[in-house]
């Protein structure tokens, strides 16, 4: 594959100067890195364990060195001014096992290892908002402690992607640190979209095919799916995009869901067309740009396409957090 020139190379060619470098861990298909790139950074290395996440990432960002495999097996990292990471969240997630003792909950120690080795001027971590729940508070406290002991001034806040131009209700915690010797304090970005001016499903999906055969999970709506209202209308923001296609929210072309009793919902018109969002629509609702490439590779099953999209960070949200970093990159 012919590689496109990096943004840093383009800037240098035009006399703008090199862009600050970033290293990305637990990168998935590139949501965080699309945001970081839009904020003005050159991502020099990315990492994840999912082969199809790498395939999607490199189809859209071929200039990045993507290391596929367990981060624990990476012995050294390239130099960078920014380190970002979205370590897996199944242990904290509302839809996951929610076991505070799971090993997956301590992957932040691998992030801390990279932080200690690279010593960037700043770092950004994203995870599900469930991390602030009482039964996980010890893990959040330990992350702040570990990152502080590594030499960083650390702050955290829960942000809603819908407040930053994403057509989706998606609350996530961000942990941001700036190197203590720099003597600066990070301030989280103010919302850019008021509740009455949010990006709607209609705006995000404008121009997309009505019935994209083969691109959506076309199976029955089982009892668990119908235990809650999964639908939002065209003029609203979407419910949270998930990684499991069975639980993907309904496309607004579907009939409304009517509550019959506790945890029992039915379609208002059962004979009308109804479907879940496709994986490409899910990507749009996550804030990925139109034309995002999903390559046909052996790892790219329909379920996996949904998974890498649902696990991603909305790029506009990560961009807003990264742009709020003080300009200390020289």
pLDDT by residue, tens only, the chain of 330 residues: 333 333 334 343 333 358 999 999 999 999 999 999 999 999 999 999 999 999 999 999 999 999 999 999 999 999 999 999 998 755 444 444 444 444 555 789 999 999 999 999 999 999 988 778 877 788 899 999 999 999 999 999 999 999 999 999 999 999 999 999 999 999 999 999 999 999 999 999 999 999 999 999 999 999 999 999 999 999 999 999 999 999 999 999 999 999 999 999 999 998 889 999 999 999 999 999 999 999 999 999 999 999 999 999 999 999 999 999 999 997
Query: Which residues, listed in sequence order, are joined to residue 175 by a DSSP beta bridge?
Result: 125, 156
Instruction: Using a cut of 0.85, tell me whether the model's pTM lies above it.
Output: yes
Give the C-alpha separation, 87 to 106, whole Å. 9
Stated length of the chain: 330
Catalytic residues: 89
Structural domains of the chain, with CATH: 7-193+310-323 (3.40.50.150)
Q: Is 122 within 8 Å of 180 (Cβ atoms)?
A: no
């Amino acid at each position: 594959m012919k590689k496109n020139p990096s943004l840093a190379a383009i800037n240098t060619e035009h006399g703008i100067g090199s862009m600050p470098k970033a290293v990305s861990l637990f990168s998935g298909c590139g949501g965080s890195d699309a945001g970081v790139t839009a904020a003005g950074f050159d991502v020099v290395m990315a990492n994840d364990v999912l082969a199809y996440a790498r395939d999607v990432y490199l189809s859209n960002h071929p200039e990045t060195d993507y290391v596929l495999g367990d981060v624990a097996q990476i012995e050294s990292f390239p130099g960078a001014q920014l380190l970002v990471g979205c370590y897996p969240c199944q242990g904290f997630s509302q839809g996951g096992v929610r076991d505070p003792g799971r090993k997956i909950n301590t992957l932040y120690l691998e992030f801390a290892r990279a932080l200690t080795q690279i010593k960037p001027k700043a770092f950004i971590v994203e995870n599900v908002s469930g991390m602030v729940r009482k039964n996980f508070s010890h893990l959040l406290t330990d992350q702040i402690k570990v990152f502080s002991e590594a030499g960083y001034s650390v702050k955290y806040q829960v942000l809603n992607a819908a407040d930053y131009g994403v057509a989706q209700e998606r609350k996530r915690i961000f942990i941001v640190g700036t190197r203590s010797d720099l003597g600066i304090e990070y301030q989280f970005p103010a919302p850019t979209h008021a509740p009455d001016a949010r990006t709607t499903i209609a705006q995000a999906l404008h121009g997309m095919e009505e019935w994209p055969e083969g691109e959506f999970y076309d199976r029955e709506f089982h009892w668990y799916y119908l235990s809650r209202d999964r639908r939002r209308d065209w003029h609203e923001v979407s419910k949270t995009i998930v990684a499991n296609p069975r639980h993907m929210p309904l496309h607004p072309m579907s009939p409304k869901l009517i509550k019959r009793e506790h945890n029992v919902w039915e379609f208002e018109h059962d004979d009308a067309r109804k479907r879940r969002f496709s994986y490409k629509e899910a990507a749009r609702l996550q804030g990925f740009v139109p034309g995002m490439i999903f390559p046909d590779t052996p790892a790219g099953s329909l379920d996996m396409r949904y998974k890498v999209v649902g696990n991603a960070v909305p790029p506009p949200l990560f961009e807003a957090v990264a742009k709020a970093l003080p300009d200390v990159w020289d």
